[in-house]
Structure 1
Amino acid sequence: MAPKIDPSDPLFLGASDVAGAALIPIKLTGSENYEIWEINNLHQGTDSVSTYFTELKNLWSEHDAVIPAPSCNCPKSKEYSEHLYQLRLIQFLSGLNDAYDQTKRQILMKGTTPTLNQAYAMIIEDEIQQLACAATISDKTEPIAM
């Protein structure tokens, strides 16, 4: 007599468990289905810091509309909000170009974690300095005659 297989066993294969069976009736097709995933993969690229930050804030607003944060005054709600703000700070910093690595390190090494707006202000200040430095260098490069 063959041993009986327990249907509650996680390795049990039922009659409907076949290769190619559709488990989810919705076809997932890219960014229309993955707005949250898009937030995690957004990078500055050739955009200015302010353009990149605005795109992130718009995506975060969409996220908050779909998945609102808990609104009670309980400690877990406060922990969730603080965690969400830290995640957004890390998302913002990690999507910046390598030119801002020094400023990103300074932000992350601060004794207290700055707010997202404070970090944004520091990065904008760095961007302004980089642009001013680039303009100064290009003004000084004149052809040298021999």
Structure 2
Amino acid sequence: MDSAYKMWNTLKQNFAQPDDTRVCNLQYILGNITEGTRSVDAYFIELKGFWEEMRNYSPLLHCECGSCNPVCFKKYSNQYHKDMVFRFLNGLNESLVAIRSQIILMDPIPALDKVYSLKLREKSQRNVMIQP
């Protein structure tokens, strides 16, 4: 058990170090990535991959004192997830302005996976309406 613990700590020290250069690069990528000519699936998966990598280098902040109000963290977490939804919506092609507006007007803003699902349904409905 002791050797596994030491091995885990060694791995953690080697690979969990903050890398501000990579964080800066990831923020740039996330700010500029769009759906473009790809499928919504490819766009969504790429975004999720970069967000996951970002969380590895820069995890959500949390209080370490233990006496803080968890409601504060919940508000922070909710805003973080809302920002992810907005980033996803802002990268969608302009043909989906209507659904973007509808989602932004929802209260509360749905979770990212729900927004992705709504986007897929909208695209599906458009394909059905286009076919004779």
Q: Same fold, TM exceeding 0.5? A: yes
- Report the Cα distance in structure 2 between the residues aligned to 1:41 and 1:122, rounded to whole angstroms: 23
Between the aligned partners of 1:32 and 1:78, the Cα distance in structure 2 is 24
Within-5 A mapping of 1:116-131:
116-131=112-127
Q: CA deviation at 1:80?
A: 1.9
Amino-acid identity (%): 27
Aligned partner of 2:34 in structure 1 is 43
- Per the TM alignment, residue 32 of structure 1 is displaced from its structure 2 partner at its CA by 9.0
Q: CA deviation at 1:33?
A: 5.3
Higher relative contact order (CA 8 A, sep 6+): 2
Q: In the alignment, what sits opposite 1:110?
A: 106
Report what 1:55 is aligned to.
Answer: 46
The whole-number CA distance in structure 1 between the counterparts of 2:119 and 2:86 is 13
TM-score (norm 2): 0.72
- Aligned-partner SS, 1:34: helix
1:22-68 CA distance string (max 9 Å, x none): xxxxxx7xx89511211111100011111100000000000000011
What is the total number of aligned residue pairs between the two structures? 107
C-alpha separation in 2, matches of 1:63 and 1:52: 17
- Structure 1: gaps spanning 5 or more residues: 1-27, 138-146
- Counterpart of 1:79 in structure 2 is 75
Letter in 2 for 1:91: R
> Would the aligned equivalents of 1:49 and 1:127 in 2 still touch at CA under 8 Å?
no
Q: Deviation digits for residues 57-100 of structure 1, max 9, x if unmatched?
A: 00000000001113557333222211110110000000000111
**Structure 2 CA distance, aligned partners of 1:77 and 1:33?**
24
- Structure 2: tracts of 5 or more residues without a match: 1-20, 64-68
Report what 1:13 is aligned to.
Answer: none
Give the residue type in structure 1 aligned to 2:51: W
Whether 2:60 is the aligned partner of 1:69: answer: yes
Tell me if the contact between 2:23 and 2:54 (Cα under 8 Å) persists in the aligned partners.
Answer: no
Q: What TM-score do the two structures reach when normalised by structure 1?
A: 0.65
More helix by share: 2
